[in-house]
Amino acid sequence: MEALDEAREDAAFRWYLRGVRTAYSIPGFILMSSFVGFSALAKAAGVGLWASVFMTGIVWALPAQVVLVGAIIAGNSLAAAVFAVALSSVRLTPMVVAIVPEMRGPRTRPITLYLLSHFVAVTSWVLAMAKLPDVPPARRTAFYFGLGSTLTLSNMVVVGSVYVLADTLPREISAALFMLTPMYFLTSLWGSAREWATNLAMVFGIVLGPIAHVLAPSFDLLIAGFGGGIGAYVIYRLAHRRRTA
């Protein structure tokens, strides 16, 4: 019995390590270069070294961090900053709703899922949605803990080091760094789609996002997300009904 328990723990640790290794992949390195850009942004805004590192670990969502720094630059009150960041982060709810059934094993405790949910952000979400189906259900939380915690800690280190070291990147290189994130999201999100409803939702979202940003800046992501997502789902359903009828 004892030997069996040991073997089980060993397997969990192995899957944790596989999660760690998954963090050091092309998507992981692309995310790190996005945080290079963030570090430069935070420094320019006058956010301190430790505050920038703290923000990276505790918020762990790049768009939300960019919005928060934007609110700091604008001199917004705490209440206004909460509102802006909360609006930019509503998307985390459907992302977590989608990942929980993938991550939940036969005996996963709710508290484990609540703690792991902190690591949900675009990169770990895209990586996990692609890799979790190949992980044994009982090992998925260990795998995701390895992946999520490693991504978070590595990027806290990246933000701190860049803040201290790099003061003057050439203009062109700095611009190119800011382009990495959207290109990575664009290609990897397209590849991780399970059904074409998701691809269609992506097309709608990418077009509606900037339009909504011009028309209703505070609600742009909500409008584009719910409008684009529900629209794509309805078209997908209608097409399927016609085929099966």
Partner 1 sequence: MSYFSNDAWWWPFFFILIAGWLATDAWRYLGVYLGGRIRDDSEMLVLVRAIATALVAAVIGNLILFPSGELASTPAALRIGAAVAGFAAYHIARKTVIVGIIVAEAILLAGLYAL
Distance CA 112, CA 108 (A): 7
**Whole-number minimum distance, CB 186 to partner 1, in Å?**
5
Min dist. Cβ of residue 242 to partner 1 (A): 17
Q: How far is the CB of 34 from partner 1 (least distance, A)?
A: 10
Q: Looking at beta carbons only, is 23 or 177 nearer to partner 1?
A: 177
What are the backbone angles phi and psi of residue 161, rounded to the nearest 5°? -65, -45
Which one, 40 or 135, has the nearer CB to partner 1?
40
**Residue 14 or 118 with smaller CB distance to partner 1:** 118
Question: Which one-letter amino acid corresponds to residue 223?
Answer: I
Comparison of 11 and 206: residue with beta carbon closer to partner 1: 206
Shortest spacing between CB 142 and partner 1, in angstroms:
17
Whole-number Cα distances in Å, 224 to 20, 37, 70, 227, 234: 33, 25, 21, 5, 15
First-to-final CA distance of the chain: 55
- Residue 55 burial by Cβ neighbours in a 10 Å radius (0-12, 13-18, 19+): buried
